[in-house]
Amino acid sequence: MIKKGFISTVDPVSHTARVTFPDIPRSVTTELPYASHLTLSPNDQVAVAFSSPANMADGMIVAALSDSALRVYKSLGLFAEGSTQPHAPYNFAVITGIRGGVEFTEVWILVNAWYDYKTKRFKRVNVNNFSFGWQFQGGGTYPGEENIGDFINQGMNLWKANGKKAYGEGDPARDLTGEDIGAVQPDGSWREFGIMLGWNNHFMCDAYGGMTIGGSGFEIDGSGTSPFKRVSLGKFSGGSIDPDKAYPEYGYAYNGTLWNGQHGLWNMDERGYNSFYWGMVSPLDFYDVGYYNPYTGRALLDETKWVWRKLPKNTDAKAENWYDIAAIHEDGTMQLMGKTVPAIHEVNAEVVNVTDFNMAYPDNTWNKHNTVILAVKGVLANGNLKQVGGFNATFTDYGAYGYLGSGEFVSAKILLTKN
């Protein structure tokens, strides 16, 4: 219980004071403690917190009141009625200091977390559950960006810290998660932002209006239009039809848009409807740390392609059940329903003995195994072109040669594609 009253007497040495309450005639409390940062005088209005309405002697002066406003120094905790917890599940904290060499000042609204001013660390209330923190920056810059030279990029940022239940049984991170939000680094320093055991960004709105989403993406509900749309970035997590298949055999990274599909492409919102994904997909870099890493979260960005991918309705979202309606590879080749779409490339060829042509491949991506001649046009002496019907061509390691037929050809144009 928090109750407003007025200072009767103050003992600045012991940091205690007696308080009277206007709504209780002739009431004077026993000596109540107050925080050392408070400067109190007789007749000052204060807020007193009591552990029980029935025990007015068991209280503490928690704040001074000015102009009918509650002046809270550093932090404020909100407890449920009758709570006996040592720390409140909901807290407000004002934090100042130096982070990364940059002075900062900020207000935090904390859920399942509190700030310990003695250790200067955020702490979990319930180590099993997730913790959240709204960071309102009044000075400084975004955590982790102190070294880029922009010292005034304050923002309003939502952070999340995992609890033990965020990790499965046997996951080492489950046992490493403790009361402190953060972890000691190899160099002995303490870090609390941007690491697995610390605060990770959920949403950021910076001083310039830029916005960052720290999760897999965001959902667009469509004002009543369903199923839902999601803009998503992540790794495929739907598994394989074959339970013995290793993740590196089917896993990939993606960056695009989902309709009736959930982040990770592992499920659909409504099974009675088709699901679609369109965007980019890339193999994963399973050697991103210098050696084989089956848990990598890094896209390789080699052999990348743009796809329009479909999961038929009433189908489990396994890797083999998603198929590409269309795919465009980074080398420019394209498939529709698995069939190659020819991209026509025109090259000039020399004419030998008036009736034969000799053509070199355009570059080293063309060879005798993937090159197909779609058509041949002969160039006549007067500049006109003549379509060649029955041409015969032989493919070598360096190019192709063939028969043009009768005609006074001075050169030829060969239309190529790849199979």
- What are the backbone angles phi and psi of residue 320, rounded to the nearest 5°? -70, -20
Q: What is the mean pLDDT of the chain?
A: 90
pLDDT, one tens digit per residue, over 242-267 is: 999 999 999 999 999 999 999 999 99
- Looking at residue 305, its pLDDT comes to 97
- Count Cβ atoms below 10 Å from residue 65 Cβ, excluding itself: 15
- Contact present, 143 and 194 (Cβ < 8 Å): yes
The contacts found for 327-336 with CB under 8 angstroms, 24 or more apart, are 329/303, 329/304, 329/305, 330/303, 330/304, 330/305, 331/365, 333/418
- Domain 2-72: CATH superfamily is Nucleic acid-binding proteins (2.40.50.140)
Whether 226 has a pLDDT exceeding 80, the answer reads: yes
Rounded to the nearest angstrom, the gap between the alpha carbon of residue 318 and the centroid of all alpha carbons in its chain is: 23
64-79 confidence digits (pLDDT tens): 886 555 666 667 888 8
Q: Are 139 and 95 in contact (CB under 8 A)?
A: no
Asked whether the beta carbons of 393 and 402 are under 8 A apart, the reply is: yes
Query: Residue 397: what pLDDT?
Result: 95
377 residue type, one letter:
K
* pLDDT over threshold 80, residue 7: yes
What integer is the mean pLDDT of 16-23?
A: 90
**pTM score:** 0.60
230 contacts 261 by C-beta, under 8 angstroms: yes
Q: Where do the domains of the chain lie?
A: 2-72, 90-213, 223-340, 345-418
Tokens of 393: 């061509």
Q: Note whether 124 and 88 are within 8 A (CB).
A: no
pLDDT digits (tens, 9 = 90+) for 295-320: 899 999 999 999 999 999 999 999 99
CB count, 10 Å around CB of 363?
Answer: 7
- Mean pLDDT in residue range 93-103: 93
* Sequence letter at residue 263: H
Cis peptide before 283 (omega within 30 of 0): no
For the beta sheet containing 345-352, the strands, ordered from the edge strand earlier in sequence to the opposite edge, are 385-388, 371-380, 409-418, 345-352, 356-360, 399-403, 392-395
